[in-house]
């Protein structure tokens, strides 16, 4: 519930104009709130005298704008997005906790539907080697279940079978984790909320010199393994992305071609 600091409020009405649920109004020259608030923070952001308080939210990381919000050159932003690659070759180098905490701020400040802020993260690094066995067990469950394995597209089924054979034969070749030092599991009740957070986290990781691989195979294996979900204290439907993350052991020289933008102008 939003709180109005009446000693600071000047009754300008900017918060009222910005409040789409219409939970704010001006009474006796001061803003006041009803119980319709969803804590979106628009009133907090627009108030010229900082007279709004959101007691259920943390102000850690809040920044003040000097006349206008921070911007980034649009071509620089587009080139940064174009230059991202799915990384399948990582250095044997751990990710500092402080770096990962900074990266996850990009997820924290990503919008969520209804401002529900239901995204949470599981970062596995120190116990990754132990956790890998749970992932492999999940893949084995898929491959030994005719109904499940036959539901997978042929090319992906062949890849999975080759991955399992290399692992089970003890060759040491790991084409599932690619020597990544860490795995980030993004969880939410909403596919949109989890996907948006994952995308921003990946870009933030890239800005820190790290690379990411979205692994559908790992996500598939975890979703089918009750022991893994119990270990993580989540349900299979909460998993929205599994992101291998680490320092790339490869350098790319250019962006890659893409199909033309598919857009319908109306």
**Burial (CB count <10 Å: 0-12, 13-18, 19+), residue 100:** buried
| Residue 175 pLDDT > 90 | no
Q: For the residues of 245-257, what is the DSSP string, one character each?
A: EE-BS----S---
Question: Average pLDDT, stretch 167-172?
Answer: 76
Q: Exposed e or buried b for every residue in 69-91, given b needs 16+ CB within 10 A?
A: eeeeeeeeeeeeeeebeebbebe
What pLDDT does 126 receive?
97
Instruction: Please give the model's pTM, rounded to 2 decimal places.
Output: 0.91
Q: What does the DSSP 8-state code read for residue 114? A: G
What is the tens place of the pLDDT at every residue in 69-125? Answer: 778 999 999 999 999 999 999 999 999 999 999 999 999 999 999 899 999 999 999
How far apart (Å, rounded) are the C-alpha atoms in residues 18 and 37?
12
User: What pLDDT shows up at residue 265?
Assistant: 97
Beta bridge partners of 27: 30
Report the alpha-carbon distance of residue 124 to residue 90 in Å, rounded. Answer: 16
Provide the 10 A C-beta neighbour count for residue 238. 20
pLDDT tens for 12-60 read: 999 999 998 899 999 999 999 888 888 899 999 999 999 999 998 999 9
As a whole number, the mean pLDDT across the chain is 93
What CA–CA distances, in Å, run from 254 to 11, 174, 204, 206, 227?
54, 27, 20, 15, 42
């Amino acid at each position: 519930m939003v709180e109005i600091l009446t000693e600071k409020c000047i009754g300008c009405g900017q918060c009222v104009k910005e409040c789409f649920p219409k939970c704010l109004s001006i009474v006796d020259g001061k803003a006041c709130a009803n119980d319709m608030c969803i804590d979106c923070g628009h009133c907090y952001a627009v108030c010229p005298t900082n007279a709004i308080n959101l007691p259920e939210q943390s102000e850690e990381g809040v920044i003040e704008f000097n006349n206008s919000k921070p911007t980034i050159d649009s071509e620089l932003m587009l080139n940064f997005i174009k230059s991202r690659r799915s990384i399948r070759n990582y250095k044997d180098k751990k990710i500092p906790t402080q770096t990962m905490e900074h990266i996850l701020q990009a997820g924290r400040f990503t919008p969520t539907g209804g401002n529900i802020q239901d995204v949470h993260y599981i970062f596995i690094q120190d116990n990754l080697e132990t956790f890998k066995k749970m992932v492999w067990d999940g893949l084995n469950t898929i491959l030994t279940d005719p109904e499940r394995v036959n539901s997978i597209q042929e090319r992906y089924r062949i890849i999975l079978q080759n991955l399992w054979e290399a692992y089970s034969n003890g060759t040491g070749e790991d084409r599932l984790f690619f020597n990544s030092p860490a795995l980030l599991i993004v969880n939410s009740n909403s596919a949109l909320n989890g996907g948006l957070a994952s995308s921003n986290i990946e870009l933030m990781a890239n800005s820190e010199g790290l690379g990411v691989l979205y692994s559908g195979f790992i996500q598939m294996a975890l979703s089918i393994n009750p022991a893994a979900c119990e270990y993580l204290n989540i349900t299979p439907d909460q998993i929205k992305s599994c992101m291998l993350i680490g320092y790339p052991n490869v350098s790319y020289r250019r962006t890659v071609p893409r199909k033309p933008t598919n857009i319908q102008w109306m």
